[in-house]
Chains A and B, each alone.
Chain A
Amino acid sequence: MPFSLTGLVVAIAAIVAAAAFGLIRRARDGRLRPVRPDPDTAHRQLLSSLGVAPDAPLTLLQFSSQFCAPCNRARAVYAEVAGSLDGVRHVEVDVAVHPEVVDAWHIRRVPTLLVVDAAGEVVSRAVGVPTRERVLAAVAPHVIVSP
């Protein structure tokens, strides 16, 4: 059987690169990060066009796509949080249907979560599938101050 040393080196390099990428991404995914206020009111109007209603103190706005298995797991987490806390809504939108919002908010992967407060301001965001506890920790302060 032929043997290619170059091929072996390429294979090892590909596996090392993939492992590094995977470890970094696994460490970053599923964390809710605070977002600085966005001065662009047009962006806020875009969000309200998605059904982020001002009557809910807090909206978990989830961006999903058709070919996305983790979106289902994220949906289960957000739906559970919305169901267990008064004043928290879960809204899910398809990135294919709303490309203008995807561009405005620089959404590069699905599932992405934007946490939107009563003023229509995005207060935090997450990529991937956070645990229920992380979502609750990020959401609780906003819900308690506005009963």
Chain B
Amino acid sequence: MGVNMDTHTDGCGSDVAAYALGALTAAETRRFEAHLETCDLCRTDLAALRPVVDALPAAAEPVAPPPALRKRIMGVVEAEARERRRVERPERRSRFSFLTMRPLPAMAAACVLVLAGVGIGVAVLQDDEAPVYQGQCIRACGDVEMRVDDGHGTLKVEGMDQPPEGRVYQVWTQRFGEDPEPTDALFTVDKDGSASVDVPGASDRVDQVLVTDEPRGGSPEPTTAPYFAVRMS
């Protein structure tokens, strides 16, 4: 049979089958695994018996899992996949080449002309000295202003349309020459087209803030062109 049964000097061989079947207690399992490290005979035994144990599940009557289980598991998996993309952001490419002054596709070029026409955002000092920056329209215009108070940003919009069906507005921060960074700031507007949104990370290290529409839950990278930009430097 090729499986050793009698030559283990310390009797360990009798545990191989129990171990392969999962019939040892947790403590016994740990002890046996430590023993496996040092015992060639047991490793050989185990390698011979393992495929037999691996075939055992086939003997269970087939029972289909309920569709709700798939839904539940995929819900968790998809949420974690989004989170992972958000945190890791691998292979980032410039989505907003027209904002970082690279060669321009025709449509983006039109946007830049708009930008150039509007000029640089102007910080208006209010009574409380918190700087306020005006937004610049790229795709769709409402009144937009961004207030930065002690590193805390608040974006106010008025007269914006609702985002497309099933999507939300997402706020991005950007330093020139780099790709936009996603923020957790997702929003829709009320029936008057108004919204006020906290923008985390809108510090003085940020050159501009952008808003795109994205699937619910947001995206790790922009998937549409921005509606407007608020330039802060």
Is chain B a partner of chain A in the same complex?
Answer: no
Which residues of chain B have a CB within 8 Å of any CB of chain A?
none
Which residues of chain A have a CB within 8 Å of any CB of chain B?
none
